[in-house]
Amino acid sequence: MITILFQIVLMLLNLYWWAVILAVAISMLISFNVLDSRNRMVWSIADFLDRLTEPALRPIRRWLPHLGPVDISPMILLILIYAAESMLARLHEALVYGNTRGLFL
């Protein structure tokens, strides 16, 4: 049962990872005028991804210094997601297999 819960959480983190990457890609394509934001479908997808990722990016942006047009907050969020996935995998291994040696490395 605990393995299923860990797998669901890891899958959700993986989906959020891809949502952040898609949000960045669509934002860049809109800013370079490759995609037209007046198109209803493009706007809907961009708005959905923005609403999904902005609550996690906003605190990171407040913490970072202003770097002008460069926004590195998605990269920091991806690093945090990776760290959370790694910590969850180690915690799962410690709980299920009793291997606490790798938990603190």
**pLDDT tens for residues 72-82?**
999 999 999 99
What pLDDT does 93 receive? Answer: 85
Tokens of 42: 């493009």
Mean confidence (pLDDT) of the chain:
91
pLDDT of 34 reads: 95
Backbone dihedral angles phi then psi of residue 37, each to the nearest 5 degrees: -75, -10
Domain boundaries, the chain: 2-104
Nearest to 57, CA basis, from 38, 80, 32 = 80
pTM listed for this prediction: 0.87
Name the DSSP letter for residue 66.
Answer: P
Q: Please say whether the beta carbons of 9 and 15 come within 8 A.
A: no
